[in-house]
Chain A
Amino acid sequence: MKLYTKTAHELHDLLVRKEVSAIELVKTQAERMQALESKIRAFVTPTVDKALEQAARVDAKIAAGEAIGPLEGIPMAIKDNMCTDGVRTTCSSKILNKFVPPYDATVVTKLKEAGAVMMGKTNLDEFAMGSSTENSGFFATRNPWDTERVPGGSSGGSAASVAAGQAVFSLGSDTGGSIRQPAAFCGVVGLKPTYGAVSRFGLIAFASSLDQIGPFTRDVRDCAHVMNAIAGHDAKDSTSAPVDYPDYTSLLGKSIKGWRVGLPKEYFGDGMDPEVKEVIEKAVKTIESLGAEVAECSLPHTEYALPVYYLIAPAEASSNLARYDGVRYGYRSESADDLITMFKKTRAEGFGDEVKRRIMLGTYALSSGYYDAYYLKALKVRTLIKNDFDQAFEKFDCILSPTTPSVAFKFGDRTDNPLQMYLSDVFTLSVNLAGIPGLSINAGFAQGMPVGLQIIGKPFDEARLLQIAHAYEEATGCHSKMPDLGV
């Protein structure tokens, strides 16, 4: 019985039936983790000892005959930009290398309450800026399907750990595609929820108005379980939505007959890898065969999403990252004689190139004299992009697109050309600008690499996105394939 291939809901059944103990689960998972770390390098900080303690408590509960929740005793991993009480949280940056938060992010608190067991903190592009996890301040994570290729980013560690079977599920954060793109590259389920559906408290901010935490899982049902655990209003986050949250598993298995599905013509033009296009077209046919009506739709301001994103996200980042100044915590330059030099050197030595690039972009965009021309104008176009979606959703239940224009690329392929790298998020970032949910599932394979299908929905419509994704999964079984890592 290969435990590491199983989903959370399958493992839950085994735990309940006492065919496996939580301790055993953590131990096999830890072995798998250890065995693959030299190949994959998904983890910045493993927390196996703590995980064993947590698992022991779950086993005691089972032994006492108490009922356990769907995530209780399930090994998980957390992207290292979410604060964990007493466990260092680095954002994969030299500048936060030794930062140990005295508090948990709300999602971490919620998962602890749900009984999930944390195996470790996963690698990311520094401060979540990047699309390949090559920009980590520590080391690059590799794609389990082909270790010559990137796992995507910025949540590359979280995606790779699930794909490689090092964790049953994980959390990532998505500012412009940082969950969906690595989910697509690694062939797992990745959901970027509606802005405000999951608390951002304790998520180390990149771009506050775009960031959203979401799950990586092996199948859609697990994704629904994790959403049940982490979604909800949080008084510690003013932008958290005080609405009624559904049971995300409630629509799984229900037919999608009669659904109106839109294909945005702007997403199916040039620039897409033909093999990727083929897989997506086949996936659309499958959806159609399940009873949905598919038609073309239009999102006319799509071409502006990339420039708008690269004004708004860096602007917010320049402000959010200003606090890393060497005064109170984290890295401080040793070679400064006065205050201003200390600020400058700390930041020059502590941040990597991509972070610096974006800080400079954002600082420029917010400077007096440029604010109106860049930032303010970007905010206005952002509204137009959101309106595009609102209009499309008047006619359609959801929108389908590829998650990425190509499959995972090779290391170094795009690092010399930041613009080329930015284009790998071109299908995902409109969704962040509009604040709506986007789900990526494995649609099939091209060149032996997974291809992601993106399903975009109305605000707070995650349960229905999971419904259609589940229907596709049932029909194709794509999700059950795992990479062969020889261990």
Chain B
Amino acid sequence: MERDFDFEIVMGLEVHAELHTKSKIFCGCTTEFGGEQNTHVCPVCLGLPGVLPVLNRQVVDYAMKAGLALNCEIAEFSKFDRKNYFYPDLPKAYQISQYDLPIAKDGYIEIEAGGKKKRIGITRVHMEEDAGKLVHAGAANLAGADYSLADYNRTGVPLIEIVSEPDIRSIEEAIAYLEQMKAILEYTEVSDCKMEQGSLRCDANVSLRPWGQKEFGTKAELKNMNSFKALQRALEYEIERQAEILREGGKIVQETRMWDEAKGMTISLRSKEEAHDYRYFPDPDLVPIVISREWVDKVRQTLPELPQARRLRLVQSYGLPQYDADIIVGSKAMADYFDAACSAYGIAVAAGTEADSKGKERAKQISNYMMGELTRFLNATEKGFQDSPISLDNLVGLLRLLEEGTISTKIAKTVFEEMFATGKAAKTVVEEKGLVQISDEGAIAAVIREILAANPSVVADYKAGKEKAMGFLVGQAMKATKGKANPGLVNKLLKEELAKM
């Protein structure tokens, strides 16, 4: 936010990410999304009397991997604690979480907002179990519902909570932070980050202070933002709400507020006075987690190339513009598709080396098609790059036909649409539909001569210096050849014929 705003914004984000394990954190139940209510449950995740939790080691691996990707220190000694509170979606009346000894702490991520690079500190990463959910009949929430039912399918799904330092100073930075966080979690494959399914959620601590003041202002905690749009709107609302109070000389109340998407406003949930006392204490049912340096190293070796490194590589190795690289790297599936397409086109280069100029040209073509046509079609059919109906070989096949001049850019669009719909190879589509570009000079010249003969007045206009006449003539030639004439040749031959006249 610019300085002309009355206050400096201070924000920290808490991101909850569901870990992409097959089974829950303390039992063998599936973590699969959805399913008939209360079918993904067992006595352990339901917290029935007498049952005990047994830690899923994969959860520790994933949490550690996320911690390493976020440049954190990994604890040598970590443990689980109980966070006690009553709610019908919490079967044991406590959530198993981590309190004073989280698995990872003191990291950072780099973001870019408003053209400036910035480092946002990561305070901690900890593991915890998810709660179930209540389904309210006849109302959106508990108040006003005729009755409420509990679905415990999500109970015990492993989560990590990533808490940032209060380093965020604008909504733009907050969005960039969440985008970068999402990309890192996706790249490391510890979470599928499906925000619409709740596997990535975000809370924010927001406060304002007069410019130049060192102390933080009183903060409000915003809960329940599960999309970038919600985050943007909630922060806009909340910042303005606080600014208005402060401008009028009022005081901000420390409280927890919920973002109500329907009403488009934040609503007070509870004040600090009625804040929960969670009575944390070490869970006596679980033994402490001792993490050897060998274990950390083993997990470190599974770390993939992270988004930032990848962006740099795309720019350096393939000469992609920064803009293209940002978009492609923004989604791991897209970036993977790009790398694979380059490889299929024979332009893969090792990190630290550069493609030749031909290779760079080809890479840019791939990028153009991915950012343009392919993205458009995928969005329209709600598909991701990982399930693109256009295979890498088929995309490369199309680009080759273009490069060879077999088809025009215009025809390529038609071919592409057909390829997307049918999954067929470019060559097959071109052959089936007879879309091969006419590059036979004699044939094109014959068409042109016919057109010139049929339009003497236009020819006269051209001779009189009216440039527009040329466009009309090109158009006529393309129409006569059903768009298949090589546009370059049409232009060249038209000029030659007109010159002769």
Contacts and interface: CB of A to CB of B under 8 A. Distances in A.
Contacts of A239: 52, 284-287
Interface string B39-61: 00001001111111111000000
Contact of B52 (A236, A316, A340): A236
Nearest to B53: A238
B288 to A, nearest CB: 10
B91 A328 contact: yes
Contacts of A47: none
Interface stretch (B80-88, B156-164, B216-224, B370-378): B80-88
Contact of A328 (B46, B84, B280, B281): B46
Given A102-B43, A239-B285, A322 B94 contact: yes
A203 interface: yes
B142 interface: yes
Nearest to A89: B49
SS of A interface (majority): loop
SS of B interface (majority): loop
Contact of B287 (A105, A238, A368): A238
Contacts of A325: 86, 88, 93
A209 B287 CA distance: 10
B92 interface: yes
Nearest to B281: A366
Contacts of A202: 50-51
A99 to B, nearest CB: 7
A208 to B, nearest CB: 4
A238 B93 CA distance: 20
Contacts of B285: 205, 208, 238-239
B440 interface: no
Contacts of A363: 279
Interface string B278-309: 01110011110000000000000000000000
A96 interface: yes
Nearest to B89: A327
A105 B94 contact: no
B150 interface: yes
Interface string A184-227: 00000000000000001111110111000000000000000000
Which of A82, A99, A201, A318 has the largest count of B CB atoms less than 10 A from its CB? Answer: A201
A89 to B, nearest CB: 7
A169 interface: no
Contacts of A17: none
Interface of A: 81-83, 89, 91, 96, 99, 101-103, 105, 200-205, 207-209, 235-239, 315-316, 318-319, 322-323, 325, 327-329, 339-340, 343, 363, 366-368, 371, 375
Given A238-B285, A323-B47, A371-B280, 15 more contacts: A102-B48, A103-B43, A200-B52, A204-B49, A236-B54, A238-B54, A238-B55, A238-B287, A239-B286, A316-B281, A327-B88, A340-B86, A366-B281, A368-B277, A375-B281
Interface of B: 43, 46-55, 82, 84, 86, 88, 91-94, 142, 150, 277, 279-281, 284-287
Shortest Cβ-Cβ A-B pairs, 4 listed: A322-B93, A209-B284, A208-B284, A366-B279
